[in-house]
């Protein structure tokens, strides 16, 4: 179950994400998404970095539906 702490943690990560991406590239953001996914253990988790130039990075972890094997993708529809 996602709670207020999880939302605040993601918000903090998003605030520093542009610096992380510039400093270490996409691998650092992939690692941050993996860490958040493992900490919260949702069915699926997506993240993205939007700059003034548009979408700079996006990633997904998890499956489309609990108990299924189909991986979630960036092309799936997400509830925000």
Q: What is the pLDDT of residue 11?
A: 67
Dihedral of alpha carbons 15, 38, 7, 68, sign: positive
pLDDT band at 70 (very low <50, low <70, confident <90, very high): very high
Domain count, the chain: 1
pLDDT digits 0-9 by tens, 8-51 = 666 666 666 665 555 567 888 899 999 999 999 999 999 998 88
Query: Which DSSP state fits 76?
Result: S
| Gap between the Cα atoms of 59 and 49, Å rounded | 9
Q: What is the mean pLDDT of residues 50-65?
A: 91
**CB-side neighbour CA atoms (13 Å) of 20:** 17
Q: What is the pLDDT of residue 25?
A: 72
In a domain, 69, yes or no: no
pTM score: 0.66
CB 67 within 8 A of CB 41: no
In a domain, 48, yes or no: yes
Token look-up 């539906």 returns 65
Note down the domain range covering 14: 4-62
| Gap between the Cα atoms of 71 and 43, Å rounded | 10
In a domain, 75, yes or no: no
In a domain, 79, yes or no: no
């Amino acid at each position: 179950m996602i709670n207020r702490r999880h939302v605040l943690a993601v918000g903090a990560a998003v605030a520093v994400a542009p610096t992380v991406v510039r400093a270490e590239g996409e691998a650092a953001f992939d690692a941050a998404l993996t860490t958040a996914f493992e900490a919260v253990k949702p069915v699926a988790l997506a993240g993205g970095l939007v700059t003034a130039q548009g979408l700079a990075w996006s990633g997904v972890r998890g499956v489309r539906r609990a108990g299924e094997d189909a991986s979630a993708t960036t092309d799936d529809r997400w509830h925000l």
